[in-house]
Amino acid sequence: MGKYFGTDGFRGEANEGLTAEHAFKIGRFLGWYFTEKRRKFDSGRARIVIGKDTRRSGYMFEYALVGGLVASGADAYLLHVTTTPSVAYVVCAEGFDCGIMISASHNPYYDNGIKLFNGAGEKMDEEVIRLVEGYLDGEDVGFGAGAQPPYAKRENIGRSVDYVAGRNRYVGYLISLGMYSFKGIKIGLDCANGSAWTIAKAVFDALGATTVLIGGEPDGTNINQGCGSTHIEKLQALVKAQGLHVGFAYDGDADRCLCVDENGEIVDGDKIIYLCAKYLKDRGELLKNTVVTTVMSNFGLYKALERLGVSYKKTAVGDKYVYEKMTQEGYVLGGEQSGHIIFSKYASTGDGVLTSLMVMQAMLDTKKSLSALAAPMEVYPQVLKNVRVADKRRAVKDEEVQAAVEKADKRLAGKGRVLLRESGTEPVVRVMVEAEDTALCKECVEEILAVIEKKGYAVKSE
């Protein structure tokens, strides 16, 4: 992780940790960098595509980025409100130099973020991120320390282009992946008042499903508020009350998906990985017979995969790391418990709506309910608590905190695990304990949190 860009972009409270000036400067640098890169091969100007979710501050960051890009000589193509995976798709499919998504994912509306994609639709190369951060800090990254990229002049000044057509192509792409008609299937969709607001329903309606939409009335300040994948209880109640076959909940930028089965029970990312691994293995499509998970995946997933005869790899938390491992070693399925699921045959990042389609395909092809597909995986009790801290790295490295972790690990006696880690996107430390007994999990977590608070690292949320 860099100084500004974490595992999933540059994120912070709008006009506090992340300002319009930051966005303008990022646009200035990227416009210059990719225009210079283009000039080595042809005389054309750089083309950069931008999407955003439904946060009020998205307008500010969108136009600040555009101002910086065109001032440096690049053309900015605006997808407007769209999903993170749609930006990744359009960059690759339409031959853009770079993609930018304005979103803070599952965070509250007052936060926002800037995510960058390279020309292959993958999370931006670390070298470019390093250069962007260096420029933000006034370092010499190609035009002198403290200096600005040269401004484009006359006919070389860039322009902005309304590019809703790109978003529509992405919707068409998703529809094309539907192998079966969804006619007669009743589906609940919780779009978190975010990016999937129009896209998800359009896809499922086109495939013939009867859809019931909640979290589809964004007003700029209600994204993720009591809805979506972080507040899935509303979708659970909807599925049960209306007798739906399945429900899908997305986060603010729709790069993750959690499911609700016909009984109103949650099917999280681990269970999605399990059922999709089994489905692909049975069809002979699980290349190398291996899936990629993160260290946050449940023991129950690994036990279930072992029974299937499926191998697994573990990475640090973040779909960026999952995708890197998948591409390095040639795997087709990977993801996180939180619902970032990657199907590398179809996408270069987690895609909530695509995940929904893959789950539907497994259900329709096997003629089984979602509960039946997920049932073989038994979840170990897991307790996860987050604590906001002033210095997450110092808190995690503290000797007394580490001693508390070791003490908890000994209590589990090899029948569980303890995980203490820094959030990649927030000033938060996450404490997770997994064991056969929920009460023991809670005790261990509370003991570790007590030490963090005693040492003065915890801060109160406003």
Q: What is the rounded CA–CA span in Å between residue 260 and residue 237?
A: 10
Question: What's the DSSP call for residue 212?
Answer: E
Is the pLDDT assigned to residue 437 strictly greater than 90?
no
SS3 letters across 89-127: HHHHHCCCCEEEEECCCCCCCCEEEEEEECCCCCECCHH
| Residue 462 pLDDT class (50, 70, 90 cuts) | very low
% of the chain surpassing 90 pLDDT = 85
pLDDT value of residue 296: 87
| 39 pLDDT above the threshold of 90 | no
* Residues 141-199 pLDDT 10s: 888 778 889 999 999 999 999 999 999 999 999 999 998 999 999 999 999 999 999 99
Predicted local confidence at residue 210, as pLDDT: 98
pLDDT in tens, 51-70: 999 999 999 999 999 999 99
Q: What is the maximal distance between C-alpha atoms in the chain? A: 70
pLDDT range class, residue 436, cuts 50, 70, 90: confident
**What pLDDT is attached to residue 43?**
67
Q: Which of 414, 423, 417 is nearest to 396 (CA)?
A: 423
Q: What is the per-residue pLDDT for 1?
A: 58
pLDDT(2) > 90: no
Q: How far apart are the first and last CA of the chain?
A: 26
Per-residue pLDDT, averaged over 455-462, amounts to: 78
The CA distance from 126 to 327, in Å, is 16
Q: In terms of C-beta density within 10 A (0-12 exposed, 13-18 middle, 19 or more buried), how is residue 47 classed?
A: buried
Type of residue found at 201: K
d(CA 144, CA 164): 38
Q: Which residue do the tokens 């009743």 mark? A: 186
257-260/246-250 β-pairing: antiparallel
H/E element holding 370?
helix 370-374
Composition of the chain by helix, strand, coil, percent to 5: 40, 20, 35
Edge-to-edge strand list for the sheet holding 186-190: 210-214, 186-190, 246-250, 257-260, 266-267
Q: Is the pLDDT of residue 103 over 60?
A: yes
Average pLDDT across the chain, whole number: 94
- Write the pLDDT tens digit of every residue in 375-389: 999 998 989 999 999
Range in 160-164, 192-196, 292-296, 328-332 with the lowest mean pLDDT: 292-296
DSSP 385-429: EEEEBS-HHHHHH-HHHHHHHHHHHHHHTTSEEEEEEE-SSSSEE
CA distance 91 to 120: 7
For the beta carbon of residue 344, count every other beta carbon within 10 angstroms: 18
Catalytic residues: 105
Q: For the residues 18-27, what does the mean pLDDT come to?
A: 98
For the ranges 134-148, 162-176, 203-217, 329-343, which has the lowest average pLDDT? Answer: 134-148
Burial of 393 (0-12, 13-18, 19+ CB in 10 A): exposed
Residue 38 has pLDDT above 90, yes or no: no
Q: What is the pLDDT of residue 42?
A: 73
Q: Say whether pTM exceeds 0.85.
A: yes
Pairing of strands 47-52, 75-81: parallel
pLDDT score of 146: 81
Which residues, in sequence order, are bridge partners of residue 257?
A: 250
171-183 burial: b if 16+ Cβ within 10 Å, else e: bebbeebbeeebe
What mean pLDDT comes out for the span 199-220?
97
- Rg of the chain (C-alpha set): 22
Q: Which residues pair with 258 in a beta bridge?
A: 249
d(CA 135, CA 108): 28
Q: What does the pLDDT read at residue 461? A: 57
Give 244-280 pLDDT, tens digit per residue. 999 999 999 999 999 999 999 999 999 999 999 999 9
pLDDT above 80 for 393: yes
Cβ proximity of 244 and 329 under 8 Å: no
